[in-house]
Structure 1
Amino acid sequence: MANMFKSERLTYRAIEESDDPFLVSLHQDPEAYQNTVPWLPVPQGKKSAPQHREHFERCMLAAMICIYDAAEDTPIGLVTMKDTNIPPNGKHIRHAKIGINIKREYQGRGFGKEAVKWLLHWGFRRAGLHKISLTVYEYNTSAIKLYEKLGFVLEARLRDEVWHDGRFWEDYIYSMLEDEWRQLDKTP
């Protein structure tokens, strides 16, 4: 049986306290920070890491993305999957929202595509989800191209939703249904 926490070049492992310096480094990159959260960018210090870990512990899935190497796993980012504010009696809805953050020096090498494909596989095959969605800001054009290439469908455009770089931008909501994923997936 294949390792469910591994894709072609990457492994996905639990987020540990020892990852705090890496988590802080992700949030100290202003561009990455503003691509993942709508809040005002403020300096992130070491004290913010436990708060980030607490958030990840509440997710359905939160994992460090690591480059697989027999000698050492090098963290390059993280992925999350969480319920979409569904009340406890709404679990039958089977919908989750995903997020991804990859360090800038590892972007543009296909790691994001590989990690999102792994998330989709995990969500639809392992977690039994019916729908997986994500949000992306209008100014994050490379992410938008990736999500559309992977088969995500634009569901909504929230107008003037986020202030960034001196103007308001839209927040896009994309999703994929299980049947759409099955048509695209080539995994046996």
Structure 2
Amino acid sequence: MDEISAAFANAYQSKRLVYRDIENNDADKGLMHKFGPTDHISWGLVNSRLFRDINKKASLDWLGQFLESGLLLKVLICLPDSTKDVESSKLGPGSRAAKIRENATPIGSLTLSKFREGSLQASATTVGICIGEEYQNQGFGAEAISWAVDWAFKFANVHRVEIVAASYNERAVHLYQKLGFRLEGRKREVIYMNRKYYDAVEFGMLENDWKELSGSD
């Protein structure tokens, strides 16, 4: 298999995970609701909007609009099921990869925002990620973010990838720095939570930064 064909065949997988497009149907939106608003702790840490319980119908309605908003990337983060693996002799690399994604178990969701329309600034996208509670603290979030950064630079002609954390989410701030994102600024006291104001901590990754970190050409 030549280099380009291999890039296509392996585009939606990383070391331990595979990724499939999120469909705008109740099943996939239900998974996003489960990974997000249902888990109050995770949702509070990654979401800086007004903290409130969101019923499933309202969540699915909002998610439907969100998925149709022209996102650059919208995927479910999935764990392959080795018990349902397919024999490589029966399918080509592309078909085999599709079958593995089809049989995989969703554990989270990841999005990349669309480019800013009409902007003279460099093409930039922002990462949004949620991991199911039972799959946290196993490095899956870090792996998925790294995959998304690589995908954006390799396939989407992105010049910079951005990610933001509330200053109270110290684990996220540490993770983004560990992954190689550079601290680019803080919006002071713009997030109100639990009777206090917190900063929005902004990070960025340029393509050349990623090339140095990953050793890619």
1:50 to 50, 61, 68: 61
Quote how far apart the aligned CAs of 1:54 are: 2.4
Distance 1:3 1:50 in 2: 33
Partner of 2:28: 19
Partner of 1:8: 15
Mapping of residues 17-166 of structure 1, within 5 Å: 17=25, 18-26=27-35, 27-47=37-57, 48-58=59-69, 59-70=71-82, 71=84, 72-83=103-114, 86-87=116-117, 89-90=118-119, 93-166=122-195
Distance 1:128 1:137 in 2: 28
Distance 2:120 2:20 in 1: 25
Quote how far apart the aligned CAs of 1:169 are: 0.9
Distance 1:83 1:91 in 2: 15
What secondary structure, in the 3-state scheme, does the structure 2 residue paired with 1:78 have? strand
Residues 95-104 or 35-44, more deviating: 35-44
Distance 2:176 2:64 in 1: 26
Partner of 2:205: 176
Quote how far apart the aligned CAs of 1:53 are: 3.2
Q: Percent identity?
A: 32
Quote how far apart the aligned CAs of 1:94 are: 1.4
Structure 2: which 5+ residue stretches go unaligned? 1-5, 85-102
Could you say if the C-alpha distance between residues 43 and 50 of structure 1 is closer, same or farther in structure 2, counting changes exceeding 3 Å?
A: same
Q: Higher strand proportion, which one?
A: 1
User: Which structure has the larger Rg over C-alpha atoms?
Assistant: 2
Quote how far apart the aligned CAs of 1:50 are: 3.3
What secondary structure, in the 3-state scheme, does the structure 2 residue paired with 1:38 have? coil
Distance 1:24 1:150 in 2: 27
What secondary structure, in the 3-state scheme, does the structure 1 residue paired with 2:188 have? strand
The answer to whether the 8 A contact 1:24-1:44 is kept is no
Could you say if the C-alpha distance between residues 146 and 173 of structure 1 is closer, same or farther in structure 2, counting changes exceeding 3 Å?
A: same
Q: Which amino acid aligns with 2:52?
A: V
What secondary structure, in the 3-state scheme, does the structure 1 residue paired with 2:158 have? coil
Distance 1:68 1:185 in 2: 24
Q: Which amino acid aligns with 2:157?
A: G
The answer to whether the 8 A contact 1:56-1:80 is kept is no
1:74-127, CA deviations, whole angstroms, 9 ceiling, x for partnerless residues? 11111111135x22x437721111111111221110101110110011011111
